[in-house]
């Protein structure tokens, strides 16, 4: 019977080392994300993500505000990486995602962070915005496993990914927590500097679904394996919720767990964009919930407290 989490099998077989080494060496001409900047990050050159050879981290903690099966009772061992491969004008984490607050961590230090979070009783290691530092994470993961890491990884991504890179994570990542932010590339270009977001997001989500399928839960309600898709509802239908849900229901599965988020507030540069320079209205969030129901996406969570910054979820359809 295979070990759980999956990365233990990949570690024992040598596959984890093989993938980690290959991805790390690819940073010599970085094409780890759809930006394909082709800068030599091994020589500390920087592209769009403003990250060189080593990862930078803003903070880490036991997070109790994620979706219930991720936070559980012990919290999710969340690591907030600095910088991002998107440029969202409304990002609530802009201080470290856009402005770069944080510090450089050696691989051994990142491994110790993972082990510390495990020792605190966290249920998983929640990698927030991991895309641009995936090779460095995998190199650190090898060290953490040798030190006794044995809780699953949550790949918590903006969804702006290359499906080919995600494919390399098969058997390493058990839980994907992925955004599907937009249904329209014109909007993603204006709000996140990514005019091809929809294409790459949908290709990556298909690969995640192929790997881990619909979310599976333990007897105590924790997620063991699977895909959860987050969708942040933006004012004035800017996120094109209808198109996103149509894709999920039609090309993934109606059983997909969707986390419909109402917490939008006009952070960072959003005040300069008339369509999103205010908080979400209750009727806008209600419309998004009705779209979920119309596409029979009845597994997942809505936010109990409308507009709350901290996530609190309930099942749309009780299990």
pTM: 0.95
**133: three-class secondary structure by DSSP:** helix
The dihedral of CA 8, 10, 16, 18: what is its sign? positive
Specify the DSSP class assigned to residue 113: H
Q: In the chain, which stretches have pLDDT less than 70?
A: 304-319
Q: What is the pLDDT of residue 310?
A: 42
Say how far apart CA 179 and CA 182 lie, in whole Å.
Answer: 9
Task: Characterise 159 by phi-psi region: left (phi > 0), alpha (psi -120 to 50), beta (else).
Answer: left
Can you give the length of the chain in residues?
Answer: 319
**pLDDT given at position 1:** 73
What confidence score (pLDDT) does residue 231 get?
A: 98
- Beta-bridge mates of residue 132: none
- Count of CB atoms within 10 A of residue 312's CB? 15
In the three-class reduction of DSSP (H, G, I as helix; E, B as strand; rest coil), residue 76 is classed as: strand
pLDDT value, residue 131: 98
Q: What is the pLDDT of residue 278?
A: 97
Q: Check if the beta carbon of residue 193 is closer than 8 Å to that of residue 160.
A: no
DSSP state of 214: B
- Helix, strand, coil tally for the chain in percent (to 5): 40, 20, 45
143 token code pair: 């060290």
The confidence score (pLDDT) of residue 2 equals 81
Q: How many CB atoms lie within 10 A of CB 74?
A: 16
């Amino acid at each position: 019977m295979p070990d759980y989490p999956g990365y233990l099998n990949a570690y024992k077989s040598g596959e984890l080392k093989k993938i980690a080494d290959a991805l790390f060496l690819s940073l010599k001409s970085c094409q780890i994300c759809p930006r394909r900047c082709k800068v030599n990050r091994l020589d500390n050159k920087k592209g769009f993500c403003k990250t060189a050879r080593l990862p930078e981290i803003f903070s880490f903690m036991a997070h109790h505000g994620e979706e219930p099966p991720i936070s559980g009772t012990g919290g999710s061992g969340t690591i907030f990486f600095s910088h991002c491969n998107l440029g969202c004008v409304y990002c609530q984490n802009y201080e470290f995602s856009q402005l770069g607050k944080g510090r450089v961590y050696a691989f051994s230090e990142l491994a110790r962070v993972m082990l510390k979070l495990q020792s605190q009783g966290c249920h998983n290691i929640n990698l927030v915005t991991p895309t641009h530092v995936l090779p460095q994470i995998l190199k650190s993961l090898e060290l953490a496993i040798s030190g006794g890491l044995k809780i699953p990884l949550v790949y918590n991504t903006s969804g702006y990914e290359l499906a080919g890179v995600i494919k390399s994570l098969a058997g390493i990542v058990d839980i994907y927590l992925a955004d599907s932010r937009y249904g329209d590339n014109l909007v993603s270009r204006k709000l996140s500097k990514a005019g091809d977001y929809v294409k790459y997001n949908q290709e990556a989500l298909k690969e995640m679904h192929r790997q881990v399928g619909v979310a599976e839960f333990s007897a105590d309600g924790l997620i063991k394996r699977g895909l959860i898709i987050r969708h942040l509802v933006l004012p004035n239908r800017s996120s094109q919720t209808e198109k996103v849900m149509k894709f999920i229901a039609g090309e993934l599965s109606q059983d997909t767990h969707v986390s419909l988020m109402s917490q939008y507030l006009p952070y960072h540069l959003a005040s300069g964009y008339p369509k999103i320079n205010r908080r979400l209205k209750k009727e806008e969030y209600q419309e998004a919930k009705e779209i979920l129901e119309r596409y029979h996406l009845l597994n997942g969570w809505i936010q109990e407290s409308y507009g709350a910054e901290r996530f609190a979820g309930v099942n749309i359809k009780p299990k």
